[in-house]
Homo-oligomer: A and B are copies of this chain.
Amino acid sequence: MTDDESSTRLDMASPTGRRAATIRDVAAHAGVSKSVVSRVLRDEPNVSEERRVRVRAAMDELGYRPNSIARGLSEARSGTVGVVINDLRNPWYVSLLEGLATTFDAVDIAPLLVDSRLDHQVGRDTVETLLSRQVDGLIVVGTTDAPVDVERAARSIPVVLAGTLEPDLSNVDISVDDDVAGARMATEHLLRLGHRRLAHIQGPGMVGTLRRKGFEETIAAQGDGGESVLVEYGGTTEEGGHAAALRLFDAPHPPTAILAYNDMTSLGVMSAADDRGLSIPADLSLIGYDDTRLASLRHISLTSVDNGNFTVGVQAAKFLLQRRERPDSPQRVYRHMPRLVVRRTASAPRVEG
């Protein structure tokens, strides 16, 4: 206390520098104990109104700003969650991130964003770094290249997968869209338009498998059995889509309609069509997936499946918050129902069949 008194006369409000006011300074300035200030800070009830006011005033006068790091140390939490994204350059995750940020903001949690691809390049262990920063949880956005680390992390902190289904662990929640349903909607649309020569450009992983499944099952269930059905692997990139599309065009019975794995590969299909002088949608119908900002650009105007990534992000964040309360609760999966956004790249085929 004695030295508190002496160090109190720093009286901030001055411009540059001076060490920032601490809870102790406020206490001294208001003539109360640290405890009282701490209680006021946390809006605890058991503080007389009079002193509460005094403390608030002191805080203002000193320009006091609570140190959330110190608080975290005491409370054994950091108020941050790690958000691992595999590649920032492919911006399908943007809405998802906004969903996360919005939800976490409300409970005063800050996302620590890391690009695992970048980390990988510099040989840094993404997850380990996050853990040593004491993140209160981990959100894995999209397919990760370090499933083992994720599993390890899940042993000590809540982990949620957003927009991906792997790695599937019993204590890791999942928030995704329903890829089978999304692919079904798109395929139904193409069938209804009258297409009978259809192709799918498949993407990687479980998500890729599910979208393909939705595509094939829908044709099997709703077609007349006479359809020609092609599938080519095209990865996730424009280049992959371009290459896959060219292979499809060269097939004996080239498709009149393509359902691509995502919007990026759709762009590749569009440029392949350009290369071959095929006009979209007159000669070729095309549907993408993700309904990214790309798809909605008028110049592109790509019919696409909206995967509801904002909502998926919100739900992922909620899962994390809930699992923080009950770490051992059983796995929960949220499947968002996607919807088809019809734009200008899909129409009836020029010639039937």
Chain A residues with CB under 8 Å of chain B are 15-17, 20, 65-70, 72-73, 78-80, 88-89, 91, 94, 97-98, 101-102, 105-106, 110-115, 118-119, 122, 124, 128-129, 131-134, 155-156, 238, 242, 267-268, 270-271, 274, 293-294, 297-300, 327-328
Q: Within the complex, which residue of B73, B111, B132, B294 is in contact with A65, where a contact is CB–CB below 8 Å?
A: B132
- State the Cβ distance, A239 to closest chain B Cβ, in Å: 9
With both chains docked as a complex, state the minimum distance between the C-beta of A245 and any C-beta of chain B, in angstroms.
11
- Distance of A65 Cα from B129 Cα, bound (Å): 10
- Distance A238 CA – B299 CA, assembled complex (angstroms): 10
Chain B: minimal CB distance from A15 (Å)? 6
Q: A267-B297, A271-B297 are in contact. Are A89 and B94 (CB under 8 A)?
A: yes
A67-B132, A69-B73, A73-B73 are known contacts; what are 19 more A-B pairs with Cβ within 8 Å? A15-B155, A16-B327, A20-B156, A66-B132, A68-B132, A68-B133, A69-B134, A91-B91, A98-B115, A101-B114, A102-B118, A105-B122, A105-B124, A110-B129, A110-B133, A113-B113, A238-B297, A267-B298, A299-B300
Chain B hits for A79, CB < 8 A: 133
Q: Which 4 A-B pairs have the closest CB atoms?
A: A271-B298, A270-B299, A271-B299, A113-B113
Q: In the complex where A15-B155, A297-B238 touch, is A131 in contact with B65 (Cβ < 8 A)? A: yes
Give the chain B neighbours of A294 by CB distance below 8 A. Answer: 294
Are B72 and A101 in touch, CB under 8 angstroms?
Answer: no
- Cβ–Cβ contact B242 & A298, under 8 A: yes
Write out the residue numbers on chain B whose beta carbons fall within 8 Å of the beta carbon of A328: 16
